[in-house]
Amino acid sequence: MGPVTMGNMVAEIAQQIMTAQRFLVCAHSSPDGDAIGSTLGLMLGLEKLGKDVVAYNADGVPDTFRFLPGADRLVSDLSGQPDFDVVFVLDAGDLGRTVDPVSERAPILINIDHHPGSDFGNICYLDTSAAATAVLVLRVLKACELTLDLDIALPLYTALLSDTGSFRYANSNPEAFAVGGELVALGIDPWEVASALYESQPPERMRLLSQVLTTLHVSSDGKYASVAMSLEMLSNSGALLEHTDGFVNYPRAISGVEVAVFFRQVDLETVKVGFRSRGNIDVGHLAGQLGGGGHKNAAGGVISGSLESVIPQVHLLLEKLLN
Ligand SMILES: [Mn+2]
């Protein structure tokens, strides 16, 4: 798809926005920052253009993103809603991930996404080079000649920060920085957003992390490292399962480590294993051997056995993979 087609597509979406009145805006369930930020940014933008908008996510707004403008108006149930003119599905990858069969709620479905292979919708605006779906939403809002304001900028900036790992990941391209700068110029306080995203953790999560880190194992050659969480640690700390998100990043952050593993006890006979790798090491294949799956650099699976028996078993496999 060349740049000319892309430009036409943005113009076509802008045309649909101008001629319709009632919009549904949604994204994938279990929303991340891009899913929620793109949804709220587009909702507020459309409203500023005088449109009627319902924002929907099957799982609502995660606590981390409650500070965003419009978050309190997102609904997690569409039953009883009259039909819409247009439904926007954002950042979803696959239409099924919206949960509600949203395609039945409007004659026109517009898919805006940056996930490779996303190919549904009457209009499918896919640009895999975009760091976040929010970048594409911004292109569309600009094509509507909307004057951006701080309320619209804040969710879009949050989406961009979230999907680029705070401008650390390889997708942090020149456009990502340019858009980030443009949104900050509208009055965003970068520290306020970073603080809401990364430094507003519940104490239970920190208590759990402190116990999990005591299990740190680094292989003798330093190429892999793991941490483990038992059910006892979970109940001691009072934390929730969702608080273990990102724990695998701690062993991954050790210098020289090529594969990081997080073992999570599910019950006395089941352990969930998450892998992260750097560069060419294919943990997707390894997870496949264990009956799980995933990608080359991020994968996982579920293994039967006690935590004490599964850990050495996986360490042995990693030994083979890395030598
Ligand atoms: Mn995204």
Token pair listed for 246: 């990102």
Q: How far is the CA of 218 from the centre of ligand 1 (A)?
A: 32
Q: How far is the CA of 131 from the centre of ligand 1 (A)?
A: 7
Q: What is the pLDDT along the chain (323 residues), one digit of tens a residue?
A: 444 467 799 999 999 999 999 999 999 998 999 999 999 999 999 999 999 999 999 999 999 999 999 999 999 999 999 999 999 999 999 999 999 999 999 999 999 999 989 999 999 999 999 999 999 999 999 999 999 999 999 999 999 999 999 999 889 999 999 999 999 999 999 999 999 999 999 999 999 999 999 999 999 999 999 999 999 999 999 999 889 988 999 999 999 999 999 999 999 999 999 999 988 899 999 999 888 888 888 899 999 999 999 999 999 999 999 98
Q: How far is the CA of 155 from the centre of ligand 1 (A)?
A: 13
User: Considering only CA atoms, which of 130, 153, 121, 132 is closest in space to residue 42?
Assistant: 153
Q: What is the DSSP string of 76-113?
A: S--TTPPP-SEEEEES-SSGGGGSS-GGGG-SEEEEEE
Q: How far is the CA of 98 from the centre of ligand 1 (A)?
A: 14
Q: How far is the CA of 225 from the centre of ligand 1 (A)?
A: 28
Q: How far is the CA of 170 from the centre of ligand 1 (A)?
A: 14
- Which one-letter amino acid corresponds to residue 165? G
Q: How far is the CA of 222 from the centre of ligand 1 (A)?
A: 33
The domain ranges of the chain are 3-198, 203-322
**In CATH, what class is 3-198?**
alpha beta
Q: What is the pTM of this model?
A: 0.86
**What is residue 316's three-state secondary structure?**
helix
Token pair listed for 97: 């991930």
Architecture of domain 203-322: Roll (3.10)
Q: Do the domains at 3-198 and 203-322 have one common CATH topology?
A: no
Q: How far is the CA of 27 from the centre of ligand 1 (A)?
A: 10
Distance between CA atoms of 281 and 259, rounded to whole angstroms? 8
Q: How far is the CA of 171 from the centre of ligand 1 (A)?
A: 11
Contact 54, 23 (CB under 8 A): yes
Q: In what order do the strands lie in the sheet with 270-277?
A: 217-218, 224-229, 259-267, 270-277, 298-304, 293-294
Residue 246 CB partners (closer than 8 Å, separation 6+): none
Residue 225 CB partners (closer than 8 Å, separation 6+): 216, 217, 218, 219, 251, 252, 254, 257, 259, 260, 261
> What pLDDT, in 10s, does the model give residues 142-158?
999 999 999 999 999 99
Which is it for strands 270-277 and 298-304: parallel, antiparallel or unpaired?
Answer: antiparallel
Q: How far is the CA of 221 from the centre of ligand 1 (A)?
A: 36
Q: How far is the CA of 105 from the centre of ligand 1 (A)?
A: 24
